[in-house]
Amino acid sequence: MKFDTPAGQNPIDQGRVIGIPHDRIDGAAKVTGTAPYAYERHDAAPNAAYGWIVGSAIAKGRIAAMDLRAAEASPGVLGIVTHANAGKLTKGSMNTAHLLGGPQIEHYEQALALVVADTFENARAAAALVRIDYAPEDGKFDLAAERLNGVIPPQGFGGPADTKAGDFDGAFASAAVKLEQTYTTPDQSHAMMEPHASIAAWNGDKLTLWTSNQMIAWGVGDMAKTLGIPKENVRLVSPYIGGGFGSKLFLRADALLAALGARQVGRPVKVAIARPQIPNNTTHRPATIQRIRIGADKDGVIDAIAHEVWSGDLPGGGPETAAQQTRLLYRGDNRLTAHRLVTLNLPEGNAMRAPGEAVGLLALEVAMDELAEACGVDPVELRIRNDVQYDPEAGPQRPFSSRKLVECLRAGADRFGWSKRNPRPGQVRDGRWLVGMGMASAFRNNLTEKSGARIGVDGQGRVIVETDMTDIGTGSYTIIAQTAAEMLGVDLDQVTVRLGDSRFPVSSGSGGQWGANSSTAGVYAAAMALRAKLAEKAGYPADQAQFDDGLVRLGNQSQPLAALAGGQGLWAEDSMEYGDLDKRYAQATFGAHFCEVGVDMDTAEVRVRRMGGAFAAGRILNPKSARSQVIGAMTMGVGAALMEALDVDTRFGFFVNHDMAEYQVPVHADIPDQDVLFIEELDDKSSPMKAKGVGELGICGAGAAVANAIYNATGIRLRDYPLTLDKLLKAQAA
């Protein structure tokens, strides 16, 4: 099915099941511990041996010598995989560094060996006996020091590296109010709760991999490419994923090494990347340096805006596209964005929840707060004044498909009690706490991806959906079941959803907040095909048949789905593809974050007291799970603002705080009640679901709202994230 004209009325609009805050259908499995995650498939691979990864102790150089004798002689060892015995491996198209290093070493903790043993304890102990002599080489690890060596990166997911409209320099020079500031954000770690984990089993030349992966088809493709085997010989199974946030978009070392280990020892092998290895072995969100210049009139109306971003990655890697939102969020005839990429020999940088916007807004929305103060305009009002209903680079001929930023700002401000904010910073005290309020706009691009599904009705009238879509906590199981129930006129408990298996039709997968809208649109396409088949069997014209109560109806006549499906069942498969509506219309999601913080008047500890926001993201398919996505993302925004940073040792070239004790993410005590309001919106140019993504919107701007609240509380403006008490104390003393 192709979606190339705006959606009209369709069965989803009934809103009988879709749009209802149903409990998750996978809830009982999750709360009882019976949902099986990758490392736990004793059922599927009962005889699995255990693999333990040996990571590089240097950031750059070569293996001079490797001595495996002690490890091989260690109790229970079945085999050791290294570059020397792994056979020819071709780097996956989504990988920047090789998943198995050697003899060349590209980054610290790059996997150099997998030790396979009969037990977990034996594998871990033997891995420590692998002796590696290194020939280290000098590397580059300091983004700030390398900044001037940045080059124009190739175009990737985030669009062109440079964009321009009008005459920025001229307009900025003549602006009544000028703002120019530089902001920095650190490297961040996904820190999902389930480590990267896989079990691999070979049956002849066919590989089955039970793994934890957001993008099944990408995983199949890169596994096949890396091993040099046909895609048909690779099966990935990933029904439950203990968090991803971008860390599990790609084939990673656990999966490849499990496959290589299983091939070598002739039995299934399971591998989890140990927690202290994860930050340096896998991907992370790259640090940025961001320069923002805004020229406005005295009322804060923007005439010129520029956002330039520097980030680093390994050779062949990509930039952190932090200027993305600045192309679309605010008005201004004269504008430019630019991304420059620096070569660094740190571990691989890549996508983490809302790549681009999540850190871009940490800069832009603080800049807007600074502009509001410079102009003496309320921050909410400033954003309303700079709203624009079309793509400001392209002009009015490219309107937004839907854009309710102003509605979000107004409703959010009202609900939060923004009018009670004292605009003069440092004025409000509550005991030992200096109290401040801050806000920020939320913006995240809406992406749609081709997505397929298979849907059937069995002889009992049960509806079954199969797609390789994944549920990484996003609620995919439930919204897909809701979509199928809505389309075929059955109750939610009549639907079975099977996900995360490469034997099922290829879906959009989970990433870039495209998953919910795209995957349900794929189910919509398959369901339309099945409706046609059922109607045909019933002898009704497909465009007049009604589906409800487990029946297909035409006027007064009706036939049960179960009878039409018969003993064989009836199946249909289709996918949803997209035309050029995303070219003709700018598509994005919007929101407004509000936050109240307390800053200890002595120690400068920052604690979030209240948080709330309003969001417009098209049709909300399940308000319960969507709200959870938003509050979870808001919390990650709090982490980014207050504590999250991978600390770089620029001598050794690694992230020093590489575990969950030292890389701190928010805990229960950091997070107060959070309020989420969804603004009603249907986006008929996004998909037949009229939905847009919402899983990443919540992080976009959340941290800036915290930063702005800190300023309002203290009068101290920090521009170097995270905004920790040492920086506040230093600024206070200066």
Partner 1 sequence: MTADHVTRRGLMQGGGALLAAAPLASQAQAQAATTASVSKGAPMTPVELTVNGREVHLQLDPRTSLLDALREHLKLTGTKKGCDHGQCGACTVIVEGRRINSCLTLAVMHDGEDVTTIEGLGTPEALHPMQKAFIVHDGYQCGYCTPGQICSAVSVLEEIKAGIPSHVTEDLDKVTFSAAEVRERMSGNICRCAAYSNIVAAIGDVAGEAEA
Partner 2 sequence: MKPFTYERATSVEAAARAAASVQGARFIAGGTNLLDLMKLQIETPTHLVDVNRLGLDRIEKTEEGGLRIGALVRNTDLAADATVRRDYAVLSRALVAGASGQLRNKATTAGNLLQRTRCPYFYDTRMPCNKRKPGSGCGAMKGVSRSLAILGVSDACIAQHPSDMAVAMRLLDAQVDTVDATGARRAIPIADFHLLPGDTPHKETVLKAGEIITSVTLPGPIGGTHVYRKVRDRASYAFALVSVAAIFGKDGTARFAFGGIGAKPWRTAEGDAAAAQGAQAVAEATLAGARTTHDNDFKRPLVEKTLASLYRQQEARA
Q: Which stretch binds partner 1 (CB under 8 A): 163-171, 399-407, 494-502, 612-620?
A: 494-502
**x-or-dash string of contact with partner 2, 116-145, rule CB under 8 A:** -----x--xx--x-----------------
Nearest to 129, CA basis, from 198, 86, 64, 80: 80
Strand partners, 483: none
Site for partner 1 in 120-139 (CB under 8 A): 120-122, 125
Structure tokens that stand for 432 in this block: 């030992």
Site for partner 1 in 23-52 (CB under 8 A): 23-37, 39-44, 47
Q: Which of 169, 548, 582, 600 binds partner 2 (CB under 8 A)?
A: 600
Site for partner 2 in 246-305 (CB under 8 A): 276
H/E stretch holding 136:
strand 131-136
- Residue 184 is a binding residue for partner 2 (CB under 8 A): no
Nearest distance in Å: CB 107, partner 2: 13
Distances (CA, A) of 490 to 10, 32, 136, 495, 543: 16, 27, 63, 8, 19
H/E stretch holding 479:
helix 476-488
H/E stretch holding 203:
strand 197-203
Cβ neighbors of 542 (< 8 A, separation 6 or more) are 531, 532, 535, 536
**x-or-dash string of contact with partner 2, 388-427, rule CB under 8 A:** ----------------------------------------
- Residue 734 is a binding residue for partner 2 (CB under 8 A): no
Give the residue with the Cβ less far from partner 2, 55 or 688.
55
Site for partner 1 in 508-537 (CB under 8 A): none
Q: Which of 14, 184, 233, 657 binds partner 2 (CB under 8 A)?
A: 657
How far apart are the C-alpha atoms of 227 and 91, rounded to whole Å? 9
Give the residue with the Cβ less far from partner 1, 176 or 193.
193
Give the residue with the Cβ less far from partner 2, 82 or 95.
82
Listing DSSP states for 509-567 in one string gives -S-TT-HHHHHHHHHHHHHHHHHHHHHHHHT--TTT-EEETTEEEETTEEEEHHHHHTT
**DSSP state, residue 583:** H
Cβ neighbors of 32 (< 8 A, separation 6 or more) are none
Q: Which residue has the tokens 């060892």?
A: 77
Nearest distance in Å: CB 376, partner 1: 35
Give the residue with the Cβ less far from partner 1, 122 or 446.
122
**x-or-dash string of contact with partner 1, 61-100, rule CB under 8 A:** -------------xxx------------------------
Q: What distance, in Å, lies between the first and last C-alpha atoms of the chain?
A: 62
Site for partner 2 in 67-96 (CB under 8 A): 75
- Residue 503 is a binding residue for partner 2 (CB under 8 A): no
86-117: b (≥16 Cβ within 10 Å) or e: beebebbeebbbbbbbbeebbbbbbbbbbbbb
Tallying the residues shown for the chain, one arrives at 734
Q: Which residue has the tokens 């983490």?
A: 352
Site for partner 1 in 224-263 (CB under 8 A): 237, 239-245
- Residue 643 is a binding residue for partner 2 (CB under 8 A): yes
- Catalytic site residue 536? no
Nearest distance in Å: CB 146, partner 2: 19
Structure tokens that stand for 360 in this block: 């871009």
How far apart are the C-alpha atoms of 176 and 676, rounded to whole Å? 37
Q: Which of 666, 695, 701, 703 binds partner 2 (CB under 8 A)?
A: 666
Give the residue with the Cβ less far from partner 1, 261 or 300.
261
Binding site for partner 2 (CB under 8 A): 57, 75, 121, 124-125, 128, 276, 432, 600-605, 607, 642-643, 647-649, 651-652, 656-659, 661-662, 664, 666-670, 722, 724-726, 729-730, 733
Residues classed as catalytic: 696
